[in-house]
Structure 1
C-alpha cells in the first residue's frame, strides 16, 4: 500500500505553473512529425471560422432586407420579397451543410493527430519504464505508474484532439466577431465588449480552481489505483491475517477523497458556465 510519507506519493498533489512553456514545447515536439496533418487542421479551422461568420451575415441580410421592408411597407411586391428570402435561406442551408462537412473533417483530422501523438508518447514512456532501475519500482507503486500511462496520457489526447483546436477556433472567431462589430457599430461593439474584462477575470479564477481540484482528483485516483492493485496482489496475505475490514475502511477513505475532489471540480464548472451565460445575456440585453 502506498505510504503517505513517500515523496513520490506527494508529487501527484503538487500544483505546478498555470502554463509551463518548457513542458508545452516538449509536448508540441511530438506533434512535429505530423506537420502535414497539422497544416490541414489549420486550413480546416480557418474555413470553419469563416463559414461560421457567414451564417449570421445572411440572417442579417434577410432581416434588414425582405423581412423588414415588407413589414414597414417599403416593399409591396411580396412575391419578390419571398423569392429573395427563399434565396437567402438556400444560401444559409448550403453554408450550414458546408460547415457540417468541414467540422466533420476537422474532427477526424484532429482525432488522428491526437492518437498519433499519444501513440508516440505511450511508446516513449513504456521504453523509458523498461530502462528504469529496480529501485524506481520500489519507490513508485505499480498503480501509480499505470495511472500515468493510461489516465494522464488520455488527458494529453484530449489536449491535442480538442483542447488546442478549440482554443485557436475561439481566438479566431472572437477576433473576427470583434472586427465585424467595430465595423458595423462602434458604440454597440464597445457595449458588448464591456463584459470582456469580467469574463477574463472569471476565467482566470475558474482556471485556478479547476486546476487545483483536477490535480487533487488525479492524485487521489493514482493513490486509489495503487492501493487497489497492491491489495489484489497481496490478497492472500490480507486474508491470512484477517485484514479485510481494515483494507475496506482504507479503500473507502481513499475513494471518498477522490469523490470529493471530483465533486469540487464539477461544482467549479457548474458555477462558472452559468455565470458566463448570465453576464452574456445581460450585456446582449
Structure 2
C-alpha cells in the first residue's frame, strides 16, 4: 500500500535545531492566566525554600543540640522539621492543583485555536494534507503539550528554584565544599548538550510516525469495504506493519538515548557524593568542618542531584513537547483563506455570473483553465459539460472561491468575488457537492447546520418541497433521527434529498450543483429529478451535469475541453452542430440505452415465457 509511505513536504520541513521562538509562542497561551501563574510560581518558590531548609535543620540538630545533649532543643527542632513537612505537603497540593488547572485551560484554548484555524484554512491546504495527520495534531500533539504544561513545566521550575536555594544554602555553610560538590555539573551539562540534538530528532520521528499511522488507519477504516471487496486485507496489514515498525524503531532510538543519559548522570552524581565524603571527612579530621555540616552537605548533594538525575525523564518530555510544538506552530502559521475585500456597499443579489479570461493551475506545470470567458444572466440555468479533467469542477470551485484565479476574474452581480466579504459570498452562492456529506447528527441538524435563521418550519418546508417528507416521516424519530457517520443509515437517494433540502433551506440566489453520478432505482431517480427541478427553480444554477435529464432541463450548455470553452448553446443547438457535445451525448446515450437493450429479451421469447407461465 503506497499510502503507508506518503510524506508531505509540510510534514517534513521542521526546524533543524532548537528554536526558542517556539517556546515563546507556546508560553503565550499562559498569558490569560498570568495571575494564576504568578501564584503558582510563589508556591513553587515556597516549596524550594522548604526543601532547602530541611538539611539545615539536621545540621543545627547535630551540631547544636545532639553534641550538647540538649534533648529539649532537639525536640523543638524535630517539631519544626515535622511542621515543614506538613507545610510542604499542603503547598504541594495547592501547587499541583493550580498548575494542572492552568495547563488544562491553556490546552483548552490551544485546541479551540487549532480547530478555528482549521476551519478557516483554504481548500488547497487540505489537498496536500491527510486527515489523520491533522487529527494527530489536534489530539496527540496537544496532549503531549498538556503533559508539559500540567506537570513538566512545574517540575522543571520547581527543580530550578530548588537548585538555586540549595546552592545558596550550601555556599552559606561552606563555599569550598560547595565547589567540590558542584565540580561534576559541567560534565553533566556536556552530556546533556551532546545528547540534546539526537534526542530531539528521535522525538520528531516519533511524532511523524504517529501521524502517518493515524492517517493510514483513518483512510483504511473509511475504505474498509473496498479493502474487503478486493481482498486487500493482507496488503493493508503489510502497509500498517511497515508504519508500525517505523514507529517502534523511532521509539527504540529515543529509549537508547534515555538509557545512555540516565546512567551517566547517575554515575556523575555518585562521584559528587564521593567527593563530598572525601573532602568533608578530611575537613572534620582537620577541625575545619563540623559533623552536622557534612551530614547536611550529603543531604544537599542528594537533593541537588536528584532533579538532575530526573532531568532525563523531564528532558524526554521537553523534547517530545518541542517536536509537537513545532508541528502545532506550523499549523497555526498556515496562511488563512482570503477573507474577501473590506466591507462595502454591494448590489442587491440577482445571481449574474461572469467569467472574464480566467486562467488557473493547481501546479506550475499544467494549466487547468485557459482563458475561460462566459456570462450567465441572473436566473439562468447553465450546465457545464465535458470529459473528465476538462475543468468543470474547477470552474465551480473558483466561483465558490475555494481557489483564486491565476489570471482573470470572476464577477458576481458585477463585483469581483474576491471583493466580497467571505460571509456574504457564502450566503449568495450555495453548493451541493457530488459527495453528499452528512454529519453524524439528525436529519434536521444536517439541514439547518446550526444556522439560527432556519427554524423547524423552514426545515419541514424544504423537505416537503423536495418530496422528502415521506421517507423522513418513516424514520424512527422523524427529522430528529440521527443519520450516522457520513449518513450511513440513509440510502444514496435519501442523502441526496437531505443535501438538496439543506441548499433549499439556505435559499442562495446562486446554486452550484455538482450532480451525482451514483446509480439509483427508477422510483428514487424520479423523486430526485422532481426535487432537482424544484431546487433549481427561480435561481441562477451552475450545474456540473452528468445525466441527460438534467442537461435537457437547463437553459444553456457550456462544453469544456482541455480547460477551454469549445461550444456553447442549448441542447438542440449543440446536437445540431454535430460537435463535441453531440459526440458526448451519443456516447452517453448509448451507454444508458445499452443496459436496457441487454435486459429486454426478444419479443417472441417474452411471449413464450408469459404463455408458459399462463399454462
User: TM-score if structure 2 supplies the norm length?
Assistant: 0.43
* Inter-partner Cα distance in structure 2 for 1:43 and 1:7: 44
Contact 1:142 1:226 (C-alpha < 8 Å) held by counterparts: yes
Note the 1:23-102 alignment, pairs <5 A.
Answer: 23-67=22-66, 69=67, 75=68, 81-102=70-91
Partner of 1:10: 12
* Contact 1:2–1:141 (CA under 8 A) maintained in structure 2: no
Which structure features the higher share of helix residues?
Answer: 1
CA distance in 1, matches of 2:15, 2:249: 18
Moved more, 48-57 or 266-275: 266-275
Cα deviation code 1:11-58 (max 9, x no counterpart): 4xx45431x232222222221111210111111111111111111111
Instruction: Return the offset for 1:228.
Output: 0.8
The superposition leaves residues 56-102 of structure 1 with CA deviations (integer Å, 9 ceiling, x where unpaired) of 111111222333x1xxxxx4xx5xx3333222221111101100111
Cα deviation 1:141-189 (Å, max 9, x = unaligned): 1110111001111122122222333222222222222222222212211
Contact persistence 1:4–1:10 (CA under 8 A): no
Distance in 2 between residues matched to 1:31 and 1:210, nearest whole Å:
26
User: Which residues in structure 2 correspond to 1:117-266 (within 5 Å)?
Assistant: 117-266=106-255
DSSP 3-state at the match of 2:231:
coil
Asked whether the 8 Å contact 1:143–1:226 carries over to 2, the reply is: yes
Residues 162-217 of structure 1 show CA distances to partners (whole Å, capped at 9, x for unaligned) of 23332222222222222222222122111111111101111222322321111111
**Alignment length (residue pairs):** 272
| Residues 220-264 of structure 1, C-alpha deviations (whole Å, 9 max, x = no match) | 111111111101111111112221111111111110111111122
Q: More relative contact order in 1 or in 2 (CA 8 Å, sep 6+)? A: 1
* Structure 1 residue ranges, 4+ long, deviating more than 6 angstroms after superposition: none
1:9 shift after superposition: 4.1
Instruction: Supply the distance in 2 between the matched residues of 1:253 and 1:276 (Cα, whole angstroms).
Output: 35
Larger Rg: 2
Q: CA–CA distance in 1 between the matches of 2:61 and 2:204?
A: 49
Give the CA deviation at 1:120: 0.6
Query: What TM-score, normalized by structure 1, do the two folds share?
Result: 0.89
- Specify the SS of the correspondent of 1:30: helix
Aligned-residue CA RMSD (Å)? 1.7
> What is the CA-CA distance between 1:5 and the residue it aligns to?
4.9
Closer/same/farther in 2, CA of residues 250 and 236 from structure 1, 3 Å limit = same
Q: Where does structure 2 lack aligned partners over 5 or more consecutive residues?
A: 275-615
Q: In proportion to residue count, which structure has more strand?
A: 2
User: Residues 64 and 103 (structure 1 numbering): CA distance in 2 closer, same or farther, change over 3 Å?
Assistant: same
